[in-house]
Amino acid sequence: MSTLPQERRVVTAIPGPKSQELQSRRTASVAAGVGSVMPVFAARADGGIVEDVDGNRFIDFGSGIAVTTVGASAEAVVRRASAQLADFTHTCFMVTPYEGYVEVAEQLAELTPGDHAKKSALFNSGAEAVENAVKIARAYTKRTAVVVFDHGYHGRTNLTMALTSKNMPYKQGFGPFAPEVYRVPVAYGYRWPTGAENAGAEASAQAIDQINKQIGAENVAAIIIEPVLGEGGFIEPAKGFLPAIRQFASDNGIVFVADEIQSGFCRTGQWFACEDEGIVPDLITTAKGIAGGLPLSAVTGRAEIMDAAHSGGLGGTYGGNPVACAGALGAIETMRELDLNAKAKRIEEVMKPRLTAMQEKFDIIGDVRGRGAMIAIELVKSGTKEPNPKATAQIAKACHAEGVLVLTTGTYSNVVRFLPPLVIGEELLTDGLDVLEAAFAAL
Ligand code: PLZ
């Protein structure tokens, strides 16, 4: 860890003068389509703190959208990536391979669920991993259809926009989208019409019925699901839903793909979130937390499926870049050494009771959910389940002004999500929750 003090500190208005100056340069030179949650510019980040150019220190409840699980300047990541930078930055794995790529594939085989033979292919972004999972599943099954779920998010490229459910801001005006993508219901317990206790059985039956009736199971190459739906609002599919869908895929020769890009690598207190219901996916997509902030993603899965794509059919200039691979090996080393799965569970133990107590006090908190360090509250209008995106934006803004970096999410933009780095100190967690509670009290 660097020397960045682990304490919240607000010394200017938010944004401060230096950030404002950078913001005007940004507005003149950066495309308007690229947004930012907060108009403050980062100077340093480490542990549970992001420091801006004006010297404000924010408690990090976002981890750069679930990426800096080990912190944003973890010692092992910096050490290994720096050493690799000095040796060589790039050769292209498709030209002259290098050991780091192979080592990451070996680690993925060991850490992902299931003890079958596994292989991996590495890429740069989450969306690219998901696209490649589809390519591999199609090559293996010689089928074309892909099934995804309500509230699912899989990326911003053309195929992954098609896989993503929410129109604004991800898809509006950017079509036409890739064909042969079909969307079916997911067991969103809090909003399931007949109640959370029925959601698992009813939603899986509906999803399977739609696949059979509208697509034909024999035409489906892949079913892709996030074991905890991230951008959809931290929806944990109700109990029984994932096993039923997994079983249906097995029974029909469909490749079951777990998109663990947001939920993977210790985030939920397991190496992968699908372990909680004993799910063993055929393919798993990972990114984000895998490499301590460096751009890396992977598709890992059953060797016979992974080998179905012909030689030369998968790749890309930068896929599995050596510096990113070194970062991944450093991040995985840190996760093991600091037992970050246990840390994630501890974060849940600290956050959930506080949030549940807030729910009792503030009736606009309709639901508290998630596990490990992937926790969220869903905001509604008092006495209803009507989404409350306005209060959600107000709460986030109030937290930002007090030095707590929170993110929002959800199909209805009414969810405040908490994704702290797993190395965050407990005092910062508690301080951040105090600020959140004060924001609700002031609303
Ligand atoms: N699959 C499950 O969560 C990325 C997106 C933020 P990329 N989620 C954050 C935004 O607004 O762009 C994500 C994910 C799941 C795929 C992706 C895509 O990963 O690395 O952003 O391409």
Same domain, 376 and 398: yes
Name residues contacting ligand 1 (CB within 6 A). Answer: 65, 125-127, 130, 153-156, 226, 230-231, 259, 261-262, 287
Q: Which residue do the tokens 């794995």 mark?
A: 93
Same domain, 105 and 199: yes
Q: What CATH number is given to the structural domain containing 129?
A: 3.40.640.10
Average pLDDT over residues 371-393: 98
Sheet holding 404-405, edge to edge: 42-46, 49-52, 57-60, 404-405
Pocket test for ligand 1, best of 153, 257, 260, 294 (most atoms within 8 A of CB): 153
Residue 10 counted as domain residue: no
CB 1 within 8 A of CB 78: no
Q: Taking all residues of the chain, what is their mean pLDDT, rounded to a whole number?
A: 98
Report whether pLDDT(323) > 80: yes
Neighbouring-strand partners of residue 301: 119, 283
Average pLDDT over residues 236-242: 98
Going from the Cα of 293 to the center of ligand 1, the distance in angstroms, rounded, reads 14
Same domain, 160 and 33: no
How confident is the model at residue 328, as a pLDDT? 99
Residue 3 counted as domain residue: no
Same domain, 166 and 194: yes
Average pLDDT over residues 262-290: 98
Same domain, 291 and 278: yes
Q: What percent of the chain has pLDDT over 90?
A: 99
Give per-residue pLDDT as tens, 149-192.
999 999 999 999 999 999 999 999 999 999 999 999 999 999 99
Same domain, 176 and 86: yes
Residue 380 counted as domain residue: yes
Domain encompassing residue 47: 17-60+339-442
Average pLDDT over residues 110-124: 98
Q: What CATH number is given to the structural domain containing 384?
A: 3.90.1150.10
Average pLDDT over residues 306-329: 98
How confident is the model at residue 2, as a pLDDT? 64
Residue by residue, DSSP assigns 213-279 as III-GGGEEEEEE-SSBTTTTSB-PPTTHHHHHHHHHHHTTPEEEEE-TTTTTTTTSSSSGGGGGT-
CB 338 within 8 A of CB 311: no
Average pLDDT over residues 95-105: 98
**By alpha-carbon position, which residue is closest to atom 16 of ligand 1?**
154
Pocket test for ligand 1, best of 65, 124, 160 (most atoms within 8 A of CB): 65
Same domain, 37 and 150: no
**By alpha-carbon position, which residue is closest to atom 1 of ligand 1?**
154
Residue 65 counted as domain residue: no
Residue 33 counted as domain residue: yes
d(CA 243, CA 251): 12
Report whether pLDDT(144) > 90: yes
Residue 70 counted as domain residue: no
Sheet holding 255-259, edge to edge: 118-123, 297-302, 283-286, 255-259, 220-225, 145-149, 181-184
157 CA closest ligand 1 atom index: 22
Supply 119's token pair: 């292989």
Going from the Cα of 127 to the center of ligand 1, the distance in angstroms, rounded, reads 7
288 CA closest ligand 1 atom index: 20
> Where is the domain boundary, 337, 355, 383?
337
What is the b/e burial string over 179-202, where b = at least 16 CB atoms within 10 angstroms of the residue's CB? Answer: ebbebbbbbbbbbbeeeeeebbbb
How confident is the model at residue 3, as a pLDDT? 85
